[in-house]
Amino acid sequence: MSGSTLRPEEQDRLQEQDVARRLLDSSAKLSYDPATEVDWDTPLDKEFHGASPEWSTLYGTAYWQELSDAQRKELTRQEAASVASTGIWFEMILQQMVLRDIYTKDPTDAEFQWALTEIADECRHSIMFARGAAKLGAPAYKPRRAVVELGRVFKTLAFGEAAYAAILVAEEVLDVMQRDWMRDERVVPFVRTINNIHVVEESRHMKFARDETRKRLRRAGPVRRRVNALVIAIASYFIVTSMVNRDVYANAGLDTERALTEAASNEHHRSLMRSSCAGLMEFLSSARLLTGPALFFYKRANLI
């Protein structure tokens, strides 16, 4: 009997394989093709918002009160398009990090196959976001050049828990927004469909990212844990603060400088971000990734 007892690492491995197989089964049963699921043909109805107005960076400010209904709707459409564009940017980083992680692994392994499934999902999501932003009448919003270059370094060097926890932060923050938007009848229907597709499929990705973060941290000593806690927090700061491009205000016909000033001090938006990310922060805390230096960046990003 004792000879058949599995060592702890073997038990962990079996559990990881089981999780990957269940994710693959879930993907096979419940996945979407945005090319056919989203109504791309109906012209944009400008009577709708692009996102729940409560999620606008200006909601609750004096400037918001001065805006006409049409201006508010246009602003939320531009902001939703900016969030989608930032999503594309980070999904491209995610795909490269995951591919690099599985590069030499066993292709018959369930985890390897799930990783490729996630990458395939992200490819479809990026195309979906791109088409959605275009339909909202928005340009191709991009992070600042310095942030783009930092992303280039991060995708090349990040590994293990630093890669997967950063993936989790980006996915979780987007998820909490989109769960509100997909249920909101004030939001244009095709955007609600996009959000629903993304929420359903990303739930599997977040499960995988959480599991991978925990798994990689098993081998992390205190120094590595502290260093990567800071790396994750810095990456999270730049991801979150890049979600709404400053150009959305001009493209919505607003005074950019005034909008930036009021958005920067908008306590409603800060509070919404903090409350929505409570579960994420709880996970990072349980993984002992909320070190003092890391907390500085999460607070700067209004995630805690």
Contact 244, 75 (CB under 8 A): no
pLDDT above 90 for 16 = no
What is the C-alpha separation between 166 and 89, in angstroms, rounded? Answer: 13
Tokens representing 158? 């990040």
Contacts 24+ apart (CB under 8 A), 202-206: 202/125, 202/171, 202/174, 202/175, 203/175, 204/23, 204/26, 204/27, 204/118, 204/121, 205/118, 205/121, 205/122, 205/167, 205/171, 206/168, 206/171, 206/172, 206/175
Contact 298, 169 (CB under 8 A): no
Nearest to 198 by CA among 245, 129, 137: 129
pLDDT in tens, 139-167: 999 999 999 999 999 999 999 999 999 99
Residue 12: per-residue pLDDT: 72
Q: How confident is the model at residue 303 (pLDDT cuts 50, 70, 90)?
A: very high
Global pTM value: 0.92
What is the C-alpha separation between 228 and 166, in angstroms, rounded? Answer: 10
The answer to whether the Cα torsion of 217, 100, 172, 257 is positive or negative is positive
DSSP H stretches of helix in the chain:
8-29, 34-37, 62-66, 69-102, 110-135, 145-157, 160-183, 189-217, 222-241, 247-251, 256-264, 267-276, 278-286, 292-300
Residue 251: per-residue pLDDT: 98
Residues 83-97, mean pLDDT to the nearest whole number: 95
Nearest to 122 by CA among 208, 191, 50: 208
What is the C-alpha separation between 268 and 61, in angstroms, rounded? Answer: 8
Residue 1: per-residue pLDDT: 44
What letter represents residue 279's amino acid?
A: G
Residues 214-221, mean pLDDT to the nearest whole number: 92
Give the 3-state secondary structure of residue 56. Answer: coil
pLDDT in tens, 223-253: 999 999 999 999 999 999 999 999 999 999 9
Q: Which distant-in-sequence residues (6+ apart) come within 8 Å of 156 by Cβ?
A: none
- The end-to-end CA distance of the chain, in Å, is 50
Q: How confident is the model at residue 4 (pLDDT cuts 50, 70, 90)?
A: low
Residues 249-259, mean pLDDT to the nearest whole number: 98
Q: Which distant-in-sequence residues (6+ apart) come within 8 Å of 148 by Cβ?
A: 89, 142
Give the 3-state secondary structure of residue 136. Answer: coil
Q: What percent of the chain has pLDDT over 70?
A: 98
pLDDT above 70 for 220 = yes
Place of tokens 């244009």: 188
pLDDT in tens, 94-128: 999 999 999 999 999 999 999 999 999 999 999 99
Residues 12-40, mean pLDDT to the nearest whole number: 92
Q: Within a 10 A sphere around the Cβ of 22, how many other Cβ atoms? A: 14
Nearest to 112 by CA among 8, 217, 214, 23: 23
Tokens representing 65? 């009160």
Residue 2: per-residue pLDDT: 47
Of 7-11, 176-180, 191-195, 223-227, least confident by mean pLDDT is 7-11
Domains of the chain: 49-300 (1.10.620.20)
| Mean per-residue pLDDT over the chain, rounded | 94
Would you list the DSSP string of 272-298? HHHHHTHHHHHHHHHTT---HHHHHHH
